[in-house]
A and B are shown apart, each in its own frame.
Chain A
Amino acid sequence: QQPVQSPQAVILREGEDAVINCSSSKALYSVHWYRQKHGEAPVFLMILLKGGEQKGHDKISASFNEKKQQSSLYLTASQLSYSGTYFCGTREGAQKLVFGQGTRLTINP
């Protein structure tokens, strides 16, 4: 069963912050985050493997709450280059990565 992302779409002005949530009805063992720019392939951002883990690079970070079966992606002081659709992915079995429905992020100047 696919994870559920919220919100479905976000429109921001450059410099504003955003939070994208990903939740699952099943136990989560890891959470992947990917970004897909328009007309391009999804690109890996980060993976969280343990409950309580937080990661980040540049001004994009994520947290993983294993007990609540959810993860959040934080985009701070957003830049135009952050525009795209963000997907969380959760593992079902050893090799199957199931994606959420995506969150479309639009950054305006």
Chain B
Amino acid sequence: DTAVSQTPKYLVTQMGNDKSIKCEQNLGHDTMYWYKQDSKKFLKIMFSYNNKELIINETVPNRFSPKSPDKAHLNLHINSLELGDSAVYFCASSKTGIDSGANVLTFGAGSRLTVL
């Protein structure tokens, strides 16, 4: 049973198009994240939701819009795609708390977006 699952695994699209990536976790975690990993492997946080509430919104273009219908799901919609959006997008989840196991991220397998 996959803990954090993302779909699709690969997207290839033209500039200007709109695309969505979906993420689901079955770990019972209450916080979910989107990270972007560029070609240099840098992992940069984009958004985070805690119990459906947006708690982290980094300096990301407005073309990126996350949505969390419930605490087990987090989607990412990207409008008007640009060449620079090409990257691997990772969904992750964690539980909130102060014990040593809290806030540890479990990542999905990633969605590789290629904008032509």
Q: Check B43–A95 contact: CB distance below 8 A.
A: no
Complex Cα spacing A36 to B41, Å: 10
Tell me how many residues of A have a C-beta within 8 Å of chain B: 23
Interface core residue of A32, A34, A44, A95 (most chain B CB under 10 Å): A95
Partner of B106, one of A40, A44, A99: A44
Q: Contact size class for B?
A: 20 to 34
Partner of A97, one of B42, B50, B55, B105: B105
Q: Check B45–A41 contact: CB distance below 8 A.
A: no
Q: Which residues of A pack against B, CB within 8 Å?
A: 32, 34, 36, 40-44, 47, 49, 85, 87, 89, 91, 94-99, 101-102, 104
Q: Which residues of B pack against A, CB within 8 Å?
A: 31, 40-45, 48, 50, 55-56, 90, 94, 96, 100, 103-110
Enumerate 6 A-B pairs (CB-CB under 8 Å) in ascending A order: A32-B105, A96-B56, A97-B105, A98-B45, A99-B42, A101-B41
